[in-house]
């Protein structure tokens, strides 16, 4: 049962335009969401996160939007640059021990973003 | 800071052989994890550890064992490798904070079992 879904395996966007990557989840207990970026032959690197108490979080060119009622989040990259070409993973976490947090993330299957110069 | 490092980077095993993958982190993180990544499957959690001397099973633990004898190290063992264990293995670590759940990943180990 895939609790975190990224339904688009790939996406191509012109350089300078907006890239929008989507992610859906089914577990209503998830309260923290993250995006990771992965280049070939490297480990995933953390990009941006959002808590369920917010509906938007922005960091430079990257903005994550959360729609709790639709159980949907999206990552916007504006403007897109060639270095943004990578695989992007969405991940989610449910609350755990109130003192220690939750130790586990559930990952989606990833979307390969290609920026066309 | 080196962050999270993994040894080795590549390995080819024959079916039935054993090996140990080593993960080390220098960020004083409590939590450590082992994932495998397969095409179209995303990252799947094998085992994890919430502190020195403790380990727990993840989503796909069968065929693997782990140990966390020191806080900075997390070992993943394959006792009798099978072709189904051909994958890229990632180690990760994180803080113990409810408001900060980012995991930091190593560069990966590409394992092929023939």
Residue A19, Cβ neighbours under 10 Å: how many?
A: 24
Q: Find all residues with CB under 8 Å of B7, minimum gap 6, and list them.
A: B21, B22, B24, B109
- pLDDT tier at B95, thresholds 50, 70, 90: confident
What is the number of residues in chain A? 117
Mean pLDDT of chain B: 92
CB A108 within 8 A of CB B42: yes
| Interface with B, mutate which of A102, A105, A108 (most B CBs under 10 A) | A105
Distance (Å, rounded) from C-alpha A24 to C-alpha B11? 35
Give the pLDDT confidence of A46-102 residue by residue, as tens digits.
Answer: 999 999 999 999 999 999 999 999 999 999 999 999 999 999 999 998 876 555 545
Strand pairing class (B73-78; B65-67): antiparallel
**Number of CB atoms found within 10 A of residue A27's CB:** 14
Please indicate if any CB of chain A lies within 8 Å of the CB of B39: no
Q: Is residue B88 scored above 70 in pLDDT?
A: yes
Is the CB of residue B62 less than 8 Å away from at least one CB of chain A?
A: no
Residue B60 contacts A where some CB pair is shorter than 8 Å: no
Instruction: Give me the mean pLDDT over the B92-114 stretch.
Output: 87
Nearest to B31, CA basis, from B41, B39, B42, B23:
B23
pLDDT at residue A79, as a whole number: 98
Q: What is the pLDDT of residue B98?
A: 59
Q: How far is A39 from chain B (nearest CA, A)?
A: 10
Residues in chain B with CB shorter than 8 Å from the CB of A46 are 102-104
Write down how long chain B is. Answer: 114
Checking if the pLDDT of A113 tops 60, the result is yes
Q: Hey, which residues does A101 pair with through a beta bridge?
A: A97
In tens, the pLDDT along B28-84 reads: 999 999 999 998 888 999 999 988 998 989 889 999 999 999 999 999 999 999 999
Q: How far separated are the first and last CA of chain A, in Å rounded?
A: 38
Contact A60, A79 (CB under 8 A): no
Distant-in-sequence, close-in-space partners of A91: CB < 8 Å, separation ≥ 6: A4, A33, A34, A35, A36, A105, A106, A107, A108
Predicted pLDDT of residue A87? 96
B6 near B93, Cβ under 8 Å? no
DSSP, collapsed to helix, strand or coil, labels residue B100 as coil
For residue B105, which residues of chain A lie inside 8 Å, CB to CB? 36, 43-45
User: Are the CB atoms for B36 and B60 separated by under 8 Å?
Assistant: yes
Phi and psi dihedrals of A41, rounded to 5? 65, 20
Dump pLDDT digits (tens) for A12-53. Answer: 999 999 999 999 999 999 989 999 999 998 999 999 999 999
Question: Is residue A1 over pLDDT 90?
Answer: no
- Facing A43 at nearest CB: one of B48, B98, B106: B106
Inter-chain residue contact A43 with B42, CB threshold 8 Å: no
Confidence of residue B99 (pLDDT cuts 50, 70, 90): low
What is residue B97's predicted lDDT score, i.e. its pLDDT?
66
């Amino acid at each position: 049962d895939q609790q975190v879904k990224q339904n688009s395996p790939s996406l191509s966007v012109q350089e300078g335009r907006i890239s929008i990557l989507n992610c859906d989840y089914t577990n209503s207990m998830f309260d923290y969401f993250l995006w990771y970026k992965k280049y070939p032959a490297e480990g995933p690197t953390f990009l941006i996160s959002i808590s369920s108490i917010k509906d938007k979080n922005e960091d430079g060119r990257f903005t994550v939007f959360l729609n709790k009622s639709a159980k949907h989040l999206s990552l916007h990259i504006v403007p897109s640059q060639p270095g943004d070409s990578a695989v992007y993973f969405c991940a989610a976490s449910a609350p755990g021990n109130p003192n220690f947090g939750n130790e586990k993330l559930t990952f989606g299957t990833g979307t390969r973003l290609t920026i066309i110069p | 800071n080196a962050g999270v490092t993994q040894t080795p980077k590549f390995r080819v095993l024959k079916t039935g052989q054993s090996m140990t993958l080593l993960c080390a982190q220098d960020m004083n993180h409590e939590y450590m994890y082992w994932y495998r990544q397969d095409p179209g499957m995303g990252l799947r959690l094998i085992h994890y550890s919430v502190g020195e001397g403790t380990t727990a099973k993840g989503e796909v633990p069968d065929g693997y064992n782990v140990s966390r004898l020191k806080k900075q190290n997390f070992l993943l063992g394959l006792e009798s490798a099978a072709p189904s264990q051909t994958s890229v293995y990632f180690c990760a670590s994180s803080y113990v904070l409810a408001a900060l759940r980012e995991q930091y990943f190593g560069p990966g180990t590409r394992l092929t079992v023939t």
